[in-house]
Amino acid sequence: MKEYPVEKNQQIIVVITDLTHEGLGVAKIDGYPIFIENALIGEEVKALVVKVGNKFGYGKVLELLTESPDRQPLANLDLLRTGIAPLGHLKYEKQLLFKQQQIEKDLARIAKLPEVPVLPTIGMANPVGYRNKAQVPVRKIDGQLEIGFYRKNSHDVVPIEDFVIQDPKIDEALQTIKAILCRFNVKPYNETDNSGFLRNIIIRRGHYSHEMMVTLVTRLEKFFKGKELAEQIAKELPEVVSVIQNVNEKVTNVILGDKEILLYGKHYIEDQLLDNKFAISSRSFYQVNTLQTEFLYQTAFDFAGLTKEDVVVDAYSGIGTIGLSLAKRVGHVYGVEVIAEAVADAKMNALLNDIDNADYKLGSAEKMMAKWVADGIKPSVVFVDPPRKGLTNSLIDSIAESDPSRVIYISCNPATLARDLKLFADLGYQAEKIQPVDLFPQTYHIESVTLLTKRA
């Protein structure tokens, strides 16, 4: 049996020498790394070893022996334990530096491109209360319906009222809805035996419009007094313009099911982004930090140096937030998206903003790009804003074959960004600069904009 320099339940005194990309403190005993929550670089801590693995272990702080000057007070340790605010104990200016350095590390380690400049992270003046969307599980705890968030690496729900990073109006609405659910005797979901009724509550609130949508995710379709309950929610929360029931009958970790029923109001809310109106449905992807998204997109447009002669491809067009925000600056926008509802939303949003130089197609970006090139459409700029897994090799090849002079890569994962920049470099596209924009204060999530230009 393999021996380690520590064992589970052992108490140790260590000095933190680094942070992981998830913000955990790193200490080493005889070269063996131990990752410790709520510990910062330079701090000496007494810790309990809670897990020992082949390559590393985990610990938790029992006592802080010396405190880092970079530490800030955290009102509720549950914000760390649940992963809601895993960097909440680190001063904000240091969070911004941490994110810049994470991109630099991945560029050097993965892409072998240490020379690409990474600019200082653009932060928020007030880095709390920014999320325009909440997604919370509903469970029975100590005999009563509770809402909160999962403890990290578990399915245990920790009851929470103040989520800190969410719009305070959403936090207030969650408590009002919780009280209404209790009055209507709605049974919370029981994950253990797949019983009960209400699985999750999702709330969206327009940053500028203040319109609110409530989605109730249920295990069964039949919703006793569902419309009455929805009307009561709208009565007590005047900002609510939409209440939707989403039915998810499967035993799964996936939150949303396929069927939706409108219980009250309309199917969408409206909000603004860079002076355009957007209709946002329950399934729409819409960035959760509206103010910083405007900085993010404006940075992307500035990097692209857009003119009226440009033909733009938006390869992950969603509901059209990027393409429609830049449409009036360019000759034409071609958007492609794999989700049919999002394409329908993008077309509706184009009409909503009197934009007639944007076309949206349903399909994969790889196939659609090849078709556009075959049809003689030659983009000068391609925008990509992929999910965390980054771009496929085939899409990178398709982009290079379409021969744009600039590629704007909006990334939410420095590791896959670095991997993809290496592939672009092999195809003749040089990363000129990267601008991190902090869309997710108090967390380790990192958003950035990269400008790539075609080498002569």
Active-site positions read 412
CA 350/CA 347 separation, integer angstroms: 5
The conformational region for residue 245 under phi > 0 = left, psi -120 to 50 = alpha, else beta, is beta
Q: Mark 319-344 as b/e (b = at least 16 C-beta within 10 Å).
A: bbbbbbbbbbebebbbbbbeeeebbb
Dist. CA 81–CA 121, nearest whole Å: 26
Q: Beginning with the edge strand found earlier in the chain, give each strand of the sheet holding 447-454 in spatial order.
A: 358-362, 332-337, 311-314, 381-384, 406-411, 447-454, 429-437
Of the candidates 273, 227, 235, 86, the one whose C-alpha atom is nearest the C-alpha of residue 164 is 86
Q: Is 328 helix (H, G, I), strand (E, B) or coil?
A: helix
Grouping H, G, I as helix, E, B as strand and the rest as coil, residue 394 is: helix
Distance between CA atoms of residues 347 and 97, nearest Å: 39
Q: Are 54 and 44 in contact (CB under 8 A)?
A: no
DSSP string, 140-175: EETTEEEEEEEPTTS-PEEE-S--SSB-HHHHHHHH
* Residues in CB range of 367: below 8 A, 6 or more apart: none
Question: Which residue is associated with the tokens 């949508």?
Answer: 213
Report yes or no: 334 and 311 within 8 Å, Cβ to Cβ. Answer: yes
What CA–CA distance (Å, rounded) separates 183 from 233?
A: 12
What burial class does residue 231 get, using C-beta atoms within 10 Å of its C-beta: 0-12 exposed, 13-18 middle, 19+ buried?
Answer: middle
Q: How far apart are CA 453 and CA 430, in angstroms?
A: 5
- Distance between alpha carbon 381 and the CA centroid of its chain, in Å? 25
